[in-house]
Amino acid sequence: MGRNKAQAADQISLFDSEVAFSENYLPFRVLHAARLVERRIAKALSEEFDLSLAEWMVLRALLDADCVSVRDLVPLTGLDTVAISRAATRLSDRRFLKKIINKQDRRLVVLTPSKAGRTLACEVDRKLSDLETAFLKGLGVQERVRLGQLLGAIIDSA
């Protein structure tokens, strides 16, 4: 029993003396904020572009990487190979990306964005830039820079 109290004491919130999972517990707040942002982005992608979040993440990663395999997209998107494959199939069916199948190993598929995919990505970028502005309204430039640094530090340590 004493050990459980000691473990609970180690999980004190950064904001006050409440025990873990209170409304001020930082991991809970980060997850909550991330889910709210994710839902808003997913809604905009779906309603305005008929894209799922996974499809957008794959297309966006391809714009940066240009020509990569499904396996190479896993660390770039945080999605598993099944989700990437499904998203790639839908994007390919809509001609937003091209699939190049390796002739020696048909399991190896390389993906590259099409011209239509690049055009779509530019449109989505403009919309998501507007959303980003909405998310960050009320924060000054220095606060925005600091938020980016803090999120980077959290991501690096996770």
Model pLDDT for residues 132-151, shown as the tens digit of each residue: 999 899 899 999 999 999 99
Is the predicted pLDDT of residue 88 greater than 60, yes or no? yes
51-129, CATH topology level: Arc Repressor Mutant, subunit A (1.10.10)
Q: What percent of the chain has pLDDT over 70?
A: 85
User: What are the Cα distances from residue 133, in Å, to 126, 139, 140, 144?
Assistant: 11, 10, 11, 10
Is the predicted pLDDT of residue 8 greater than 50, yes or no? no
pLDDT at 21: 54
Smallest Cα–Cα separation from 38: which of 27, 28, 51, 53?
A: 53
Is the predicted pLDDT of residue 13 greater than 50, yes or no? no
Longest dimension (CA), the chain: 63
pLDDT at 94: 97
pTM given for the model: 0.75
Is the predicted pLDDT of residue 79 greater than 90, yes or no? yes
- Provide CATH 1.10.10.10 ranges for the chain: 51-129
User: What are the Cα distances from residue 87, in Å, to 13, 23, 45, 69, 72?
Assistant: 38, 35, 14, 13, 14
CA torsion angle 28 33 38 44 (round to 10): 160
